[in-house]
C-alpha cells in the first residue's frame, strides 16, 4: 500500500526538481548570475578572438619588451614584446575548448563507471573500486606526463588526462550517491514491485542523481582549467603555438623577481573563470539538492516527505 | 569485520600487482631510451646498441618484468640504470622534502578549512558566514602556480622575509632554514586545499544542521553551535575523512607543481627528470612506491571509516 | 762632510724611491687581477661553491657523452698529455712539451716526472700507452674515432710516441679532450660513480640531483690548488641560479641568464663577467625532406630571421653567426652577410620556389628557452610561414630528431668546439651532403701545418654558409657572476671546460 503511494510520490518529487521553477531559482541567486555572466563573456571572447585581436598574439617585437599597460597595450607587453592583452584574449579559446571537452569526457567516464558499478554484482563492484583507487593514485599529472612523453605536449593530452583522472573521481563521488538513492524507500518499493535493474537505473536512480552529475560537470570544467594551467606550466600541455593562460604563466614566471606585475593578467583570468564554474556548480547544487535548502523551504519539504 | 579486513587486504595486494603491471608496460611505451642519452649527440648506432645490451635493455619485456617483480618480492625497489644507486635511498632523500611539504600543507589545510567551514555553515545567513564562503570560493579557484607566484612576489621579493626558491643543500641539518624554505610552498598548497576543505565541511555541516538529531538537541536547550559541535561534528568529520583519500592525490599533484616553481629537490622533480632521461627502473620503482603509499593509506582510511560509521555497514551486519 | 750629507741624501732618496716603489707595487697588487676588491692573500682552507646548470647522468668519462662531465672532471681530476686554455689554445699538461714531425706522422711527448694518481700510485708511461690504446680500440668509448688515424702508440723511456697512418691536424685538439685522458691501468674503481686521475683535485662525493664535491689533491705533481675544495651545485632554473649567487649559496654562478641580469646589477660584492663560447645555437633544417630540399626555401627562412632582434630578446648574450665556425675555432670568418636579414627578399624567394604559405614543424628540447621558438614563430609568420612549435624532453628529441631524423626544423646548441666535421658527415641528422665540403675537410685534416688546415676549413665553411643547410641563429656569450674575493675562475668556454687549477678565494 504505502509502496505504491511512495512510488507515485517519488515520481512526482523527482520531476518537480527538474521543471522550470528550477531555472527561476537559479536566476534568483546573484552568485549564479554573476558566474553565468562571466562564462558568457568567456564564450564571446573565444568566438570574437577567432576573428580579431587588437594585435597578433604571437607577434614578437623585441624593441618594445616589458612595456607597462598603456593605450596601445592594455596589459602591457612581455619579455619578447608580445601584447599580453591580445594573448590572454586569444587564449580564452583554448580555455573554452579544454573546459568543454574535458568536462564532457570526465562526465561520460564518471557516469559510465558508476553506472556499471551499481548494476553489477558485488565482487565486480569491489574489484572495480580497487582499480579506480589505483587510477586515482595515478595523479592526473603523471597520466599527462606519460601521455605527453609519448605524444608530445598538447591540449589532447590535457583533455584526456583530466577526463580520465577527474572522471574516475566523479565515479567515486557518485558511487556513494547512487548507493544512497538505491536505499531510499521508493527504489526499494520499485524493486519490490518487480522493476528490473535497468528500469531502476533509468527511472529512479539517474534522474535523482542527475543534479549531482550536473554539479560535477561544472566542477570538472573548473578542474580542467586548473589542470591545463598546471600542465602547460610544466610543459605537458599546450604547445608554444597554442595560446594558453597556463603557458603564459610559464613564460612569465622566470621574471617574477623583476616584473612581478605581468603575471597578474593570466592568473586573474584563470581564477575568475574557475570561480565562475565553481559558483555556477554551487548554485545548481543549492537549487536542486533539497538537503541544502534553507529554513524557508523546510516547511515545503516536510510536507512532501513525511 | 574480519572478513571485511581480509577482503580489503586481498584487494590491496591485487591492486599493487595490477599497478606494477600497468606502470611497467605503460613506461615501455615511451619513445627513446636511456642508452641514447648516455651515448649522447655524437653517439653512433653501435655505441648505443652496446650500451643497451650492457644494461640488459634488449631482453624481452616479460623477462625484464619478471626480474623486477622478483626483486620487489625480496624487498628491493631496484636500482637506477644510469648510476646504479638504489631507488629506495634516492626516494628516501627526496621524500625528506616532499613528505614534510605535503604534511605541512595538509595541516594548514585542515586547520584553516575545517573550523572555518563549520563557522561559515552555522552563520550561513549572516554576512560573516557568507563572506568566509565567498573568500574560500575565490581562493579555491586560484591556480596553485599563480598562488605561489603571488606569495613569492609579496613575501620574498617585496618584503624579503623568506627565500624565493630553493632548499638548503644540507637538508634538515638546520631545521629552521629548511622550514623557511618549505613555508611558502606549503602555504600555497595548504591555503588552496584549505579552501576546498572549507567548502566541503561547510556543505556537510549545513546538511547536519538540517538533521533531526541536531534540531532535537537544539530544542533541548543547547545553542545551535553546541548542537552541531556535539552531535553533528562526528559525522561531518567522517565525511571529510572519506574525501581525504582523494585529496592526497591532489596534494601530490600540488607538490609536483610547487616543487617546480620553488625549485625544491623533492619526489615530483625527481620523477620529472628521471622520466626525461628514461631511467625506467628508477621511475617504475618510484611510481610503485608512491602508488603503494596511496593505496595503503586508502586502505587504512577505509578501515577507520568502516569501523566508525554505522551507515556504511552492508545489510546483515 | 758634504759627501756624508750627499750620501745621506742619496740614501734617503733611495729609501724614498724604494718606499714609493714598494707602495706602488702593493697598490698594484691589490687592484690588479680579476677581483678588484680582493685583499690579496688566498685562504687555502676555503671551499669554493660553483653553480652549474646540467648535471651529468653518471661520471663514466669513457662511455658517457656530454659536456656536463667535461666541465667537472677534465683538467680538475683527469688530465691528458695536452690541455687547452679557455680560449682554445693548446697547452702541455702531462707532457713536458710536444713535437710533431714535418710530415705530420710522428708525435712525441716527453712526460712530466713525479706524477701520481689520486689513489697514490705513480703514473707510468705504460699507463699513458694503455689509456690511449683503450680509447682507440674500444669503439664504444666516447671520441674513440678521434684516434682512428693513429697507427701505433709506444713508450720509450719517459717519452710517448704516436705514429700515424696519415697526418691529422685535429689530433692535438682531440688529445686535449676525452681521447687523450690518462687513467690508471691497474685501478679497479667504478667509473660510473668515482674518478681517479692525475689532476689537482680528487673527486670526493657525488650527491645525485644535488652536488659534486672535489677536494685538493695534496700530492699533486704541479702547483697545488689554492683552495681546499670545490663543490659544484646544479640549478636548472635560471631564477634559482640567480638567487643562489645573491644569497651566497654559491660563490660563482656560471651561465647566468642574460634576461635576468638586472637582478644582479647593483648588488654589492658581485661582479658580472662576460666571456666567449663556442655555443652555436643552430636552427637545423632537415635537408632530406621537402620543401627544405629547395635552397630558395632555406635561404628564405634564413633571411626572414632577425638575429639581432633575437639576441636582444634573449638579453643581449650573443653575437651573430653567419656560418658554421665560431670565432674561437680555427677557420673562422665573419659570414654574417650571407643570407642576412631581408624579409622582403625572403618573400620573393618563397614565391619563386612556389612555396608561399608553408607550414613547418619546429621540434626542440624543453630546456631551451621558449622565447627562441616564439621569436622565430613571429619572424617566419611575417613572410608567410606558419610554425608549429613542439618542445619535447631531451630523450624524445634524441630519438626523434637525432636518430630517426623525423623532423623538419630543430634548434640545438652545438656547444662542442672544433665540430665542423658534422658538416662533412652526410649521415648526421642535418642530411647535408656536399662532396666538395667533405673533400676540403679531409684535406684540412691531412694538412701538416696549422695555417693550411685553418684555410681549408675556412673555404669549406664558406661553401656551407652559401648552401644554407641551417641557420646559425647566434653564438652565445656567457655571463659568469663572481663574488668578490674569488680569482682564477675562467670566464670563456665555461660550458665546455672549467679549469679550476688557479682558483683562489680570499676574504
The pLDDT profile of chain B, 317 residues, written as one tens digit per residue, is 788 888 888 878 887 888 888 888 888 888 778 888 888 777 778 888 888 888 888 888 888 899 899 888 888 888 888 777 888 888 888 888 888 998 899 999 999 999 999 888 888 888 888 889 889 989 989 998 899 999 988 888 788 888 878 887 777 888 888 899 899 999 999 999 899 889 888 878 887 777 777 777 777 777 767 777 777 777 777 777 777 766 776 777 778 788 888 888 888 888 878 887 888 888 888 888 877 877 787 778 777 777 776 665 555 44
Extract the runs of DSSP E, i.e. beta strands, from C122-269.
150-156, 159-164, 201-207, 211-216, 229-234, 252-253
- Across C390-413, average pLDDT: 89
CB C331 within 8 A of CB C461: yes
pLDDT in tens, A112-144: 887 777 667 777 777 777 677 666 656 666 777
Which candidate from B37, B45, B165 shows the least CB-CB separation from C398? B37
* Nearest CB partner across the interface for C370, out of A59, A81, A240: A240
* Burial of residue C146 (number of CB atoms within 10 Å: 0-12, 13-18, 19+): buried
pLDDT at A264 > cutoff 80: yes
| Continuous segment of H or E residues that includes residue C413 | strand C409-414
* 3-state class percentages of chain C: helix first, strand second, coil last, to nearest 5: 30, 25, 45
Name C422's Cβ contacts closer than 8 Å, sequence gap at least 6: C414, C428, C430
> How high is the pLDDT of residue A100?
92
Q: A24-293 maps to which CATH number? A: 1.10.3720.10
Asked if C190's CB is within 8 angstroms of B276's CB, the reply is: no
Q: Which has the closest alpha carbon to A152: C396, B257, C30, C193? A: C396
Pick B146's closest partner by Cβ from A145, A176, A249. Answer: A249
Alpha-carbon separation of residue B161 from A73, B153, B170, C52, C249 (angstroms): 33, 11, 21, 27, 17
**Which grid cell is B71?**
626483486
Q: Is A131 on the interface with B (CB under 8 A)?
A: yes
| Residue A118: per-residue pLDDT | 67
3-state secondary structure of B241: helix
Taking Cα atoms as reference points, which of A224, A215, A219 lies closest to residue A97?
A224
Q: Are C272 and C479 in contact (CB under 8 A)?
A: yes
Given an 8 Å threshold on Cβ–Cβ distance, is B270 in contact with C400? no
Residue C200 has pLDDT above 90, yes or no: yes
Tell which residue, C218, C229, C321, has the closest CA to residue C279: C321
Distance to chain B for C349, nearest Cα, Å: 33
Q: How far is CA A122 from CA A127, B100, B104, in A?
A: 9, 39, 38
Residues of chain A contacting residue B144, judged by C-beta atoms under 8 Å apart: 226, 230
Rg (CA), chain A: 23
Which of these, C397, C54, C314, lies nearest to A153 by C-alpha position? C397
Q: How many CB pairs under 8 A join A and C?
A: 84
Could you say which residues from 155 to 214 on chain A have a Cβ atom under 8 Å away from some Cβ of chain C?
none
Place of cell 591485487: B14
What is the predicted pLDDT for the residue at C196? 93
Picking from B225-229, B286-290, C251-255, C275-279, which range would have the lowest pLDDT averaged per residue?
A: B225-229
Q: What is the 3-state secondary structure (H, E, C) of chain A?
A: CHHHHHHHHHHHHHHHCCCCHHHHHHHCCHHHHHHHHHHHHHHHHHHHHCCCCCCCCCCCCHHHCCCCCCCCCCCCECCCCCEHHHHHHHHHHHHHHHHHHHHHHHHHHHHHHHHHHHHCCHHHHHHHHHHHHHHHHCCHHHHHHHHHHHHCCCHHHHHHHHHHHHHHHHHHHHHHHHHHHHCCHHHHHHHHCCCCHHHHHHHHHHHHHHHHHHHHHHHHHHHHHHHHHHHHHHCCCCCCCCCCHHHHHHHHHCCCCCCHHHHHHHHHHHHHHHHHHHHHHHHHHHHHCHHHCCHHHHHHHHHHHC
Residue C391 to residue A257, Cβ atoms within 8 A: no
CA distance A233 to chain B (A): 8
Q: Tens digits of per-residue pLDDT, C38-92?
A: 456 888 899 999 999 988 888 999 988 888 899 999 999 999 999 999 888 999 9
Report CB contact under 8 Å: C192, B44.
no
Written as nine digits, the cell of B87 is 631507488
Which of A35, A128, A138, A167 to probe the B interface (max B CBs under 10 A)?
A: A138
pLDDT top residue among C335 and B158: C335
Number of H helices, E strands in chain C: 12, 19
pLDDT (0 to 100) of residue C464: 96
Per-residue model confidence as pLDDT tens digits over A149-169: 777 778 888 888 888 878 887
CA-to-CA distance for C325 and C440, rounded, in angstroms?
Answer: 14
Instruction: Give yes or no for residue C30 having a pLDDT over 60.
Output: no
Write the pLDDT tens digit of every residue in C349-370.
Answer: 999 999 889 999 999 988 888 8
| pLDDT on residue C21 | 41
Least confident of A255-259, B110-114, B298-302, C312-316: B298-302
pLDDT at residue C35 in the model: 43
Q: Would you call B256 and A256 a contact, using CB atoms and an 8 Å cutoff?
A: no
Residue A293: per-residue pLDDT: 47
Residue ranges per structural domain of chain A: 24-293
* CA C258/CA A255 separation, integer angstroms: 11
| Chain A 255-294, residues with CB within 8 Å of chain B CB atoms | 256-257, 260, 263, 266-267, 270-272, 274-275, 278-279, 282, 285, 291-292, 294
Q: Which residue has the cell 631524423?
A: C405
Cell 599497478 sits on residue: B19
Peptide bond into C291 cis (omega under 30): yes
Pairing of strands C106-110, C150-156: unpaired
- Nearest CB partner across the interface for B141, out of A256, A260, A278: A278
Residue C204 phi, psi dihedral angles, 5° rounding: -100, -60
**CB-based contact, A139 to chain B, within 8 Å:** yes
Residues in chain B closer than 8 A to C244 (CB atoms): 166
pLDDT of residue B310: 63
Q: Rounded CA gap, B158 and B151, in Å?
A: 10
Considering only CB atoms, which chain A residues are within 8 Å of C371? 79-80, 251
Per residue in A274-292, pLDDT tens?
999 988 888 887 777 655 4
> What does the block give as the cell for A276?
565562475
Distance CA C199, CA C501 (A): 9
Q: Give, for B210, the enclosing helix (H) or strand (E).
A: none
A144-168 burial, b at 16+ Cβ within 10 Å, e below that, comes to: bbbbbbeebbbbebbbbbbbbbbbb
For residue A294, pLDDT over 60 is answered with: no
pLDDT at C31 (0 to 100): 38
A275: its cell numbers: 570561480
CA C81 to chain centre: 19
Write the pLDDT tens digit of every residue in A182-207.
Answer: 777 877 888 788 777 777 767 777 77
Closest CA to B143 of C222, A228, C380: A228
What pLDDT, on the 0 to 100 scale, is given for residue A115?
73
d(CA B123, CA B45): 71
Grid coordinates standing for C427?
Answer: 649521415
Q: Which residue of C has its CA nearest to A58?
A: C378
**Residue C107: which of C141, C152, C157 has the closest Cα?**
C152
Sequence-ordered list of residues with C-beta below 8 angstroms from that of B13, at least 6 positions apart, any chain: none
CB proximity list for C9: less than 8 A, separation 6 or greater: none
d(Cα C107, Cα C174) in Å, to the nearest integer?
13
Q: Residue C175: pLDDT band by 50, 70, 90 thresholds?
A: very high
pLDDT over 70, % of chain A: 80
Cα B199 to chain center, whole Å? 20
Exposure string (b/e) for C41-73, b if CB count within 10 Å is 16 or more? ebeeebbbbbbbbbbbbbbbbbbbbbbbbbbbb
Contact C211 B169 (CB under 8 A): yes
The residue-averaged pLDDT of C415-424 equals 91
* Cβ-contact B188, B216 below 8 angstroms: no
Nearest to C140 among B46, B93, B275 (CB): B46
Q: How far apart are CA C190 and CA C206, in angstroms?
A: 13
Q: What is the pTM of this model?
A: 0.81
C193 interfacial to chain B (CB closer than 8 Å): yes
Q: pLDDT grade, residue A3 (50/70/90)?
A: very low
For residue C315, give the C-alpha cell: 638579453
**Integer CA distances (angstroms), B254 to A268, B172, B192, B243, B285, in order:** 19, 22, 10, 16, 21
**pLDDT cut 90: percent of chain C above it:** 70
- Compute the count of residue pairs across chains B and C with CB atoms less than 8 Å apart: 104
pLDDT in tens, A85-114: 999 999 999 999 999 999 889 888 887 887
Q: Which of C262, C313, C391 sits opposite A235 (nearest CB)?
A: C391
Interface test with C, best of B30, B31, B52 (most C CBs within 10 A): B31
Residue of chain C nearest B156, judged by CA positions: C243
Nearest alpha-carbon partner for C196 in C179, C181, C183: C183
Q: What ipTM does the predicted assembly reach?
A: 0.81
Q: Which of C243, C244, C396 has its CB closest to that of B32?
A: C396
Q: Which of A267, A265, A232 is nearest to A246 (CA)?
A: A232
Amino acid at each position: 500500500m504505502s509502496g505504491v503511494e511512495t512510488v507515485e510520490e517519488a515520481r512526482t518529487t523527482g520531476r518537480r526538481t527538474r521543471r522550470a521553477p528550477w531555472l527561476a531559482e537559479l536566476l534568483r541567486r546573484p552568485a549564479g548570475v554573476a558566474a553565468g555572466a562571466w562564462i558568457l563573456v568567456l564564450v564571446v571572447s573565444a568566438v570574437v578572438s577567432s576573428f580579431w585581436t587588437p594585435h597578433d598574439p604571437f607577434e614578437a617585437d623585441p624593441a618594445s619588451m616589458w612595456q607597462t599597460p598603456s593605450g596601445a597595450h592594455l596589459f602591457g607587453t612581455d619579455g619578447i614584446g608580445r601584447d599580453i592583452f591580445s594573448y590572454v584574449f586569444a587564449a580564452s579559446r583554448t580555455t573554452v575548448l579544454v573546459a568543454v571537452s574535458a568536462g564532457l569526457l570526465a562526465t561520460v567516464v564518471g557516469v559510465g563507471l558508476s553506472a556499471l558499478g551499481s548494476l553489477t554484482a558485488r565482487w565486480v563492484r569491489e574489484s572495480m573500486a580497487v582499480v579506480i583507487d589505483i587510477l586515482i593514485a595515478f595523479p592526473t599529472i603523471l597520466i599527462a606526463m606519460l601521455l605527453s612523453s609519448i605524444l608530445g605536449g598538447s591540449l589532447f593530452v590535457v583533455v584526456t588526462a583530466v577526463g580520465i583522472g577527474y572522471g574516475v573521481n566523479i565515479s567515486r563521488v557518485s558511487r556513494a550517491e547512487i548507493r544512497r538513492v538505491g536505499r531510499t524507500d521508493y527504489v526499494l518499493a520499485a524493486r519490490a514491485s518487480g522493476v528490473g535493474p535497468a528500469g531502476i537505473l533509468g527511472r529512479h536512480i539517474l534522474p535523482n542523481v542527475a543534479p549531482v552529475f550536473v554539479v560535477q560537470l561544472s566542477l570538472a570544467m573548473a578542474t580542467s582549467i586548473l589542470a591545463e594551467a598546471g600542465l602547460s606550466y610544466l610543459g605537458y600541455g599546450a604547445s608554444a603555438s597554442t595560446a594558453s593562460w597556463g603557458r603564459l604563466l610559464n613564460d612569465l614566471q622566470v621574471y617574477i623577481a623583476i616584473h612581478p606585475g605581468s603575471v597578474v593578467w593570466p592568473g586573474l583570468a584563470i581564477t575568475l573563470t574557475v570561480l565562475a564554474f565553481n559558483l555556477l556548480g554551487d548554485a545548481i547544487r543549492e537549487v536542486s539538492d533539497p538537503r541544502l535548502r534553507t529554513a524557508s523551504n523546510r516547511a515545503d519539504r516536510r510536507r512532501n516527505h513525511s | 569485520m574480519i572478513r571485511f579486513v581480509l577482503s580489503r587486504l586481498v584487494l590491496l595486494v591485487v591492486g599493487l600487482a595490477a599497478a606494477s603491471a600497468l606502470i611497467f608496460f605503460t613506461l615501455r611505451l615511451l619513445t627513446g631510451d636511456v642508452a641514447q642519452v648516455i651515448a649522447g649527440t655524437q653517439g653512433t648506432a653501435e655505441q648505443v646498441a652496446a650500451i643497451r645490451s650492457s644494461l640488459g635493455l634488449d631482453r624481452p619485456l616479460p623477462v625484464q618484468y619478471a626480474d623486477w617483480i622478483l626483486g620487489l618480492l625480496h624487498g628491493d625497489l631496484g636500482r637506477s640504470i644510469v648510476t646504479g644507486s638504489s631507488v629506495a635511498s634516492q626516494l628516501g632523500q627526496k621524500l625528506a622534502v616532499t613528505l614534510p611539504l605535503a604534511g605541512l600543507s595538509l595541516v594548514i589545510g585542515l586547520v584553516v578549512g575545517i573550523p572555518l567551514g563549520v563557522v561559515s555553515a552555522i552563520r550561513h545567513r549572516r554576512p560573516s558566514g557568507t563572506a568566509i564562503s565567498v573568500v574560500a570560493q575565490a581562493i579555491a579557484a586560484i591556480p596553485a602556480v599563480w598562488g605561489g607566484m603571488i606569495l613569492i612576489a609579496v613575501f620574498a621579493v617585496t618584503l624579503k622575509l623568506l627565500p624565493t626558491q630553493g632548499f638548503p643543500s644540507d637538508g634538515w641539518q638546520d631545521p629552521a632554514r629548511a622550514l623557511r624554505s618549505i613555508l611558502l610552498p606549503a602555504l600555497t598548497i595548504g591555503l588552496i586545499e584549505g579552501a576546498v576543505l572549507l567548502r566541503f565541511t561547510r556543505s556537510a555541516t549545513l546538511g547536519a544542521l538540517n538533521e533531526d538529531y541536531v534540531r532535537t538537541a537544539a530544542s533541548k536547550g543547547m545553542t545551535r553551535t553546541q548542537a552541531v559541535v556535539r552531535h553533528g561534528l562526528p559525522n561531518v568529520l567522517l565525511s571529510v575523512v572519506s574525501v581525504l583519500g582523494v585529496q592526497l592525490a591532489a596534494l601530490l599533484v600540488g607538490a609536483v607543481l610547487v616543487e617546480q616553481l620553488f625549485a625544491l629537490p623533492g619526489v615530483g622533480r625527481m620523477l620529472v627528470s628521471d622520466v626525461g632521461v628514461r631511467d625506467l627502473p628508477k621511475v617504475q620503482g618510484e611510481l610503485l612506491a608512491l602508488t603503494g603509499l596511496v593505496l595503503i593509506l586508502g586502505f587504512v582510511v577505509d578501515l577507520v571509516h568502516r569501523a566508525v560509521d554505522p551507515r556504511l555497514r552492508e545489510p546483515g551486519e | 762632510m758634504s759627501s756624508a750629507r750627499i750620501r745621506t741624501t742619496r740614501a734617503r732618496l733611495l729609501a724614498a724611491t724604494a718606499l714609493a716603489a714598494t707602495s706602488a707595487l702593493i697598490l698594484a697588487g691589490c687592484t690588479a687581477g680579476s677581483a678588484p676588491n680582493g685583499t690579496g692573500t688566498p685562504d687555502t682552507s676555503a671551499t669554493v661553491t660553483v653553480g652549474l646548470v646540467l648535471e651529468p647522468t653518471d661520471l663514466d668519462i669513457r662511455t658517457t657523452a656530454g659536456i656536463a662531465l667535461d666541465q667537472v672532471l677534465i683538467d680538475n681530476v683527469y688530465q691528458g698529455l695536452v690541455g687547452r686554455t679557455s680560449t682554445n689554445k693548446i697547452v702541455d699538461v702531462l707532457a713536458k712539451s710536444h713535437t710533431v714531425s714535418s710530415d705530420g706522422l710522428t708525435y712525441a711527448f716527453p712526460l712530466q716526472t713525479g706524477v701520481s694518481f689520486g689513489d697514490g700510485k705513480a703514473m707510468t708511461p705504460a699507463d699513458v700507452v694503455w689509456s690511449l690504446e683503450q680509447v682507440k680500440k674500444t669503439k664504444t668509448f666516447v671520441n674513440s674515432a678521434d684516434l682512428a688515424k693513429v697507427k701505433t702508440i709506444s713508450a720509450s723511456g719517459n717519452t710517448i710516441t704516436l705514429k700515424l697512418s696519415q697526418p691529422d691536424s685535429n689530433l692535438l685538439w682531440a688529445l686535449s679532450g676525452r681521447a687523450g685522458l690518462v687513467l690508471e691501468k691497474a685501478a679497479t674503481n667504478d667509473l660510473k660513480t668515482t674518478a681517479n686521475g692525475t689532476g689537482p683535485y680528487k673527486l670526493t662525493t657525488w650527491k645525485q640531483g644535488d652536488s659534486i664535491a672535489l677536494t685538493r689533491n695534496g700530492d699533486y705533481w704541479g702547483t697545488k690548488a689554492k683552495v681546499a675544495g670545490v663543490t659544484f651545485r646544479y640549478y636548472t632554473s635560471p631564477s634559482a641560479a640567480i638567487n643562489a649567487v645573491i644569497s651566497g649559496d654559491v660563490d660563482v654562478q656560471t651561465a647566468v641568464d642574460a634576461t635576468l641580469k638586472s637582478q644582479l646589477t647593483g648588488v654589492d660584492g658581485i661582479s658580472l663577467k662576460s666571456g666567449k663560447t663556442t655555443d652555436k645555437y643552430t636552427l637545423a633544417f632537415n635537408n632530406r625532406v621537402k620543401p627544405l630540399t629547395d635552397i630558395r626555401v632555406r635561404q628564405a627562412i634564413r633571411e626572414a630571421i632577425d638575429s639581432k632582434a633575437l639576441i636582444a630578446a634573449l638579453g643581449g648574450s650573443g653575437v651573430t653567426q653567419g656560418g658554421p665556425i665560431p670565432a674561437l675555432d680555427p677557420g673562422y670568418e665573419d659570414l654574417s652577410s650571407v643570407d642576412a636579414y631581408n624579409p622582403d627578399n625572403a618573400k620573393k624567394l618563397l614565391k619563386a620556389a612556389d612555396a608561399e604559405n608553408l607550414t613547418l614543424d619546429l621540434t626542440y628540447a624543453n630546456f631551451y628557452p621558449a622565447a627562441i621558438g616564439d621569436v622565430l614563430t613571429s619572424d617566419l609568420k611575417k613572410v608567410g610561414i606558419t610554425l608549429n612549435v613542439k618542445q619535447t624532453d631531451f630523450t624524445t628529441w634524441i630519438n626523434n630528431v637525432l636518430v630517426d631524423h623525423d623532423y623538419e626544423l630543430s634548434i640545438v646548441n652545438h656547444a662542442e668546439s672544433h665540430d665542423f666535421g658534422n658538416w662533412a658527415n652526410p649521415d648526421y641528422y642535418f642530411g647535408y651532403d656536399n662532396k666538395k665540403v667533405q673533400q676540403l675537410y679531409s684535406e684540412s685534416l691531412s694538412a701538416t701545418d696549422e695555417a693550411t688546415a685553418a684555410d681549408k676549413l675556412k673555404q669549406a665553411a664558406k661553401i656551407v654558409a652559401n648552401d644554407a643547410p641551417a641557420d646559425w641563429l647566434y653564438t652565445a656569450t656567457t655571463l659568469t657572476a663572481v663574488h668578490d674575493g674569488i680569482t682564477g675562475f675562467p670566464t670563456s668556454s665555461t660550458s665546455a671546460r672549467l679549469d679550476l687549477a688557479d682558483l683562489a678565494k680570499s676574504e
